[in-house]
Amino acid sequence: MRLRYILPILFIGTGSSVLRAQTTASYNDVLLIVNDSSRNSVTIGDYFAQRRHIPAAHIYHFRADTSETMDSATFIPLKWALQGWMRSHNLVDSINYIVTTKGCPLRIATRQWDQFDSTGKLVALGGQSSFEDCLALINGVDSVRILSTRTQFYQSRYYNSTEHFKHNQQTMPYYLVTRLDAYTVDQVKGIILKAENPVAADDGLWVLDLDPTRDNASYGIGNTWLRDADSILRQKELHVMFDEQGAYVHDQKNVVGYASWGSNDNASGGGEAAKPRNTWLNGSIAETYVSTGGRSFQPGAGYGQSLVADWIAEGASAVKGYTDEPYLIVMAEPDILFNRYTSGFNMAESYWSASPLIAWRQVVIGDPKMMLRTNLSASSESLDFNSGPRYMTLSDSVWVRNTSGVPLVVKGASMLGADSLDFTFGPLTVPKTIQPGDSLALPLGFRPTAYRLEGARVRVAYRLAGDSADRVLFVSLTGTGVRPFLAASDTVDFDANIANSVRSIHLRNATPTDTMNITKITIGGTAAARFKVDPSVTFPHRLIGGETWDLPIVYLGGATSTELATATISSTASRTTIVRLRATPGFSGVEDRPVATGRMDLTCTPNPFGARTLLRYRVPVEGGMAELEIVDASGQMVVQRSLGAQIGGEHATVFDASGLASGSYLCRLVVTMPDGRTRTMVQSLLHEQ
């Protein structure tokens, strides 16, 4: 069979003859599918349910032929029955994952296959899909796409997501579906057991096998994904074997991640010869760019193309395959796949966030909630200091927890990145020992020197007890330097009866650590000709942090009714300032003093919320030191976080409540003003896990 080139997609078929127990996640949101007509399905279902404590109410039993192919006419009644059963058991909204078993159908066949015109251009997509992709869409608004013929691919809503998966009938009407399958039942039991004791990301080797002959307009994107994956994994200082020399890589030891062209690598030998012959660590995952690598999991299945079942037989804990020609566009992109899997996402989340399409011909093999072990986990993989003026230090911290089961020693930390000099670590005395289960606060700081978004990574080096190798934890840091804030009078009043009277616009650089220049004053409005800047004023006028300036404005006088104008003040501050000029006959009041204290706001979106929510708040124009306090229903303060010095205006921060129990909380924003006064805003929060 010849290769068919279809831009920007591809037919990827070719013709040719110290481990520590990992805490188990909850499986209360998992639905298990068992075909009672298959002894293999029943055996695997019973074993998985027992190992993962899946209740009987979360196991759907059906009876059907045990063939790997089911026709659409048989599938449709099965789909309706399953949907009705889920509704009657109140599982539609509570289930996030569906797990099928060996003995269930692998593909659903339809009469319509992909259509090409006379030039070889793909013009229509047939409805044939994997059983798992069909189940992914049941109950939701996208279920009409199941087995549908179409002229374009269906983009997955979860593709490239950086959020943990949560089924939602409106915004995420999918389930993440994986399959427990292999050549034998014992091999399936093996992947179930391996998922219980996974290694850490830095315990093994990440194999990326590029085929340089694919560097062309049709196939080159596959190599690009591999090159990007290499860059991402090396930035995390993981052990990478990246080959782009043309040889097909075999016989690698202790593999934890793998991606290649499989039998489509021109140096692989094709078919059965493409078996990688690796040794694999628990928790390992793999992807191959092979059209029909998941076409069968039956012993003795013929070759032609490589079979992902061979990767499971060798010892991989998870792999993605394709039941029928899917085209290159559907692959689990290794750069996303491995980045998610090494960033605290489970196996199913990693594969499906890396896969662009849905309602197609995909099958992911393995335990959906398998995750790599962490030795040192951070409360957040990223920390945003929000915005602050130049040269003012903003302080925050990230908590790290020893999840390894043995003592570990934090040896130190360093900053990486182009803006690393503007971020600080400490003060913290190192080395510092953390006992199993204990946590340590890592103090961090940001002192912006530029008016832009800045970023860096803090690299935390640590060592496990009894281990001679250094390991690392990375946390991404961001912060924005903002221009100084100019406080000004709202209105300046004049007596219209007095000619050439002089009154002042009161200006103050409200940012104590930065300098600004007043560059120009423009008088506008209906009475602009009646006002002018005092001739003694020259520009630019420099205001150092906290300095005030009385800017003299001259009113020419002689009006018999009120006259209005505006003074637009151009400066290097964060925004243009406009002051109203008003001349009233007989006005004799005292001059306005500088800007009155502005309003404060505090809002939470979303609310109720799950793990995280965005807090938006407004600081009075004078600015001040801001602090965030979270109080539970009993009145106990459970979170106290310094937001540092804040200029007047709008700000935002992410509140991570993943460590708090569900319930009602009060969020207090406390701002200490420059004159020592304290102002407080309160917002009710509802945290739902």
193 plus 72 within the same structural domain: yes
Reply yes or no on whether the pLDDT at 11 is more than 60: no
Q: Is residue 142 within 8 Å of 168, Cβ to Cβ? A: no
What whole-number distance in Å separates Cα of residue 130 and Cα of residue 362? Answer: 6
Task: Answer whether residue 8 shows pLDDT above 50.
Answer: no
**Which residue type occupies 200?**
A
Domain membership of residue 603 as a residue range: 597-689
Could you tell me if residue 14 is inside a domain? no
Question: 230: which 2 tokens?
Answer: 């290499």
Domain count, the chain: 4
- The answer for residues whose C-beta is within 8 angstroms of residue 329's C-beta and 6 or more apart is 8, 9, 10, 153, 356, 357
pLDDT in tens, 57-116: 999 999 999 999 999 999 999 999 999 999 999 999 999 999 999 999 999 999 887 788
Domain boundary among 365, 380, 411: 365
User: What is the model's pLDDT at position 420?
Assistant: 96
Give the per-residue SS3 of 267-295: CCCCHHHHCCCCCEEEEEEEEECCCCCCC
Long-range contact pairs involving 41-49 (C-beta distance under 8 Å, separation at least 24)? 41/66, 41/101, 41/102, 41/103, 41/104, 42/103, 43/185, 44/101, 44/102, 44/103, 44/180, 44/185, 44/188, 44/189, 45/101, 47/188, 47/189, 47/192, 48/99, 48/101, 48/180, 48/192, 48/367
Same domain, 464 and 491: no
Which of 267-271, 313-317, 651-655 comes out lowest in average pLDDT? 651-655
List, for residues 107-164, the tens digit of each pLDDT value.
999 988 778 888 878 777 888 999 999 999 999 988 999 998 888 899 999 999 999 9
CATH of the domain at 644: 2.60.40.1220
Residues facing residue 619 across a β-bridge = 649
Rounded to the nearest angstrom, the gap between the alpha carbon of residue 400 and the centroid of all alpha carbons in its chain is 19
Choice among 10-19, 48-57, 420-429 with the minimum mean pLDDT: 10-19
Q: Classify 391 in phi/psi space as left (phi over 0), alpha (psi -120 to 50) or beta.
A: left
Task: Kindly state whether residue 383 falls inside one of the protein's structural domains.
Answer: no
Query: 102 in a domain, yes or no?
Result: yes
**Burial status of residue 446 (CB atoms within 10 A of its CB: 0-12, 13-18, 19 or more):** buried
What does the chain come to in residues?
689
Q: Side-chain half-sphere of 421: how many Cα atoms within 13 Å?
A: 4
State whether residue 97 is helix, strand or coil. strand
pLDDT at 22: 45
Please answer whether residues 545 and 509 qualify as being in contact, where contact means their C-beta atoms are separated by less than 8 angstroms. Answer: yes
Q: Which amino acid is at 282?
A: N
Are 197 and 341 found together in one domain?
Answer: yes
Residue where a domain terminates, one of 471, 497, 524: 471
* Range list of H helices, 262-417: 309-314, 334-341, 347-353
* Model confidence at 408: pLDDT above 80: yes
| Per-residue model confidence as pLDDT tens digits over 131-142 | 999 999 999 988
Quickly tell me which residue has 């990574």 as its tokens. 457
The domain boundary residue, chosen from 427, 444, 471:
471
Taking residue 17's Cβ as centre, other Cβ atoms within 10 Å add up to 8
